[in-house]
Structure 1
Amino acid sequence: MKKYLAVAVLIGLVIWGVYDVQGNKSKSPDARSNSASVQNTNEKSDSTGVTTKIDQGQPLKVGLEKGNLAPDFELENADGKAIKLSSFRGKKVVVNFWASWCPPCRLEIPEIEKYYTQNKNTGIEILGVNLTTAEKSQATVTSFIKANSITFPVLLDKDGDAAHLYDISSIPASFILDSRGVIQEKVVGPMTYDSMQEMLGRIK
């Protein structure tokens, strides 16, 4: 009886896309049911909390809350090209943390791809940050990119630095930035085409 109960629980977790690797952190029930937990044993980055001046000298705190300047990072894409977040100033940017083994990420990616193909020429950029340290291999990621015809930029977080910087414990997780690089929305769980359209539509 216990064996069947355990199997039923496992099936339920797969259906809801909940994978607990390190144990639950406090978040809303909706976020828990639509995200996958990932291991993050590092301390919080010292990069947050720095004050940076943009927009005619107005100081902005670098951090992870709405209204903060998003922490900058530089990662390589699958072709080995280094890409820096701050190089996209002047564009709205979606920074999406994901992994190929994560069921809700798999559901979300076609929605992101659809949005990207229809809006990439309108001053919007999407950066898919793959948690490469949580993958079987880098080859797994590149194969997934090809198999799913992903055309938006995918950056490989090979050392976990970006996930550490953004304090990522559950995926998918997204940060929506305005054209100044300021965080306007944080989303834990899968986005849809319509939700992206709505969020980015009201951001300058």
Structure 2
Amino acid sequence: MVRKVISAIVILVAVTVIGSIVYQTVSSPPVGVNQGEEAPDIELMRAEGESMSLSDQRGDFVIMNLWASWCEPCIREFPMLDEVHQDYQDEGMQVIAVNMTSYERTPDEAVEFLGDHPVSMPILFDEEGEAADVYLDEGLPTTYFINEEGIIVDTIVGEVTRDMVEERIQPFL
């Protein structure tokens, strides 16, 4: 009788563990850079010298823009993205501009660009190419729209306009 009880308990524990693993696998989206996937976490240095990670922004809607100072479409959309950041940051939305520093001609070019074009949105520097390795598939600029749970809800490769951004963020405001 004791042997049957112990066997039943072992089976119950095994079923619970296996069920938990299956539930976690099925209920959690995969990590990746496609729509519907959990955005891979990156931690980069800010212009001010402290680090910032994407996971620190959970709870906020994030527009993450990948840019370089030599990229003409990046330069054109830069002021608009800063305006969006200013307009919506109090509503739980962040615009984060990630400079592809490893793609710059010289490391100082991005800093010089920011000196000529000051912004209030957080600027992160991808000095070692970590973000580029994960997020940069097709070219610059690339903009990711990431919901409060860290799930990528949309991606735009190429220049974005205010109308394009507004259309994508409205359901999340």
TM bin (shorter chain): 0.7 to 0.9
2:126 corresponds to: 157
Q: Is 1:62–2:31 an aligned residue pair?
A: yes
Listed as ranges, the matches of 1:118-129 within 5 Å are 118-129=87-98
Local SS of the residue matching 1:63: coil
**C-alpha separation in 1, matches of 2:54 and 2:149:** 11
1:141-181 deviation digits (Å, cap 9, x = unpaired):
12211211211111000011111011433000011001001
**C-alpha separation in 1, matches of 2:137 and 2:121:** 21
2:15 corresponds to: none
Amino acid at match of 1:185: D
2:18 corresponds to: none
2:75 corresponds to: 106
By percentage of residues, which structure has more helix?
2
2:162 to 193, 198, 202: 193
Listed as ranges, the matches of 1:37-76 within 5 Å are 58-76=27-45
Structure 1's consecutive aligned runs of 4 or more residues displaced over 4 angstroms after TM superposition are: none
**C-alpha separation in 1, matches of 2:29 and 2:36:** 8
2:49 corresponds to: 80
How many angstroms does 1:139 deviate by? 2.3
* Larger Rg computed on CA atoms: 2
**C-alpha separation in 2, matches of 1:108 and 1:90:** 25
2:13 corresponds to: none
TM (norm. structure 2) is 0.81
- 5+ unaligned residues in a row in structure 2: which ranges? 1-23
Instruction: Check whether the contact 1:114–1:193 (CA below 8 A) recurs between aligned residues.
Output: no
Identity %: 31
More divergent stretch after superposition (130-139 vs 170-179)? 130-139
Report how many residues are paired.
Answer: 150
Give the RMSD, CA atoms, in angstroms: 1.7
How many angstroms does 1:76 deviate by? 0.2
Listed as ranges, the matches of 1:142-153 within 5 Å are 142-153=111-122
Instruction: Check whether the contact 1:184–1:203 (CA below 8 A) recurs between aligned residues.
Output: no
1:168 to 123, 137, 151: 137
Local SS of the residue matching 1:171: coil
More divergent stretch after superposition (82-91 vs 135-144)? 135-144
1:38-81 deviation digits (Å, cap 9, x = unpaired):
xxxxxxxxxxxxxxx59xx9211001111100000100011221
How many angstroms does 1:203 deviate by? 2.9
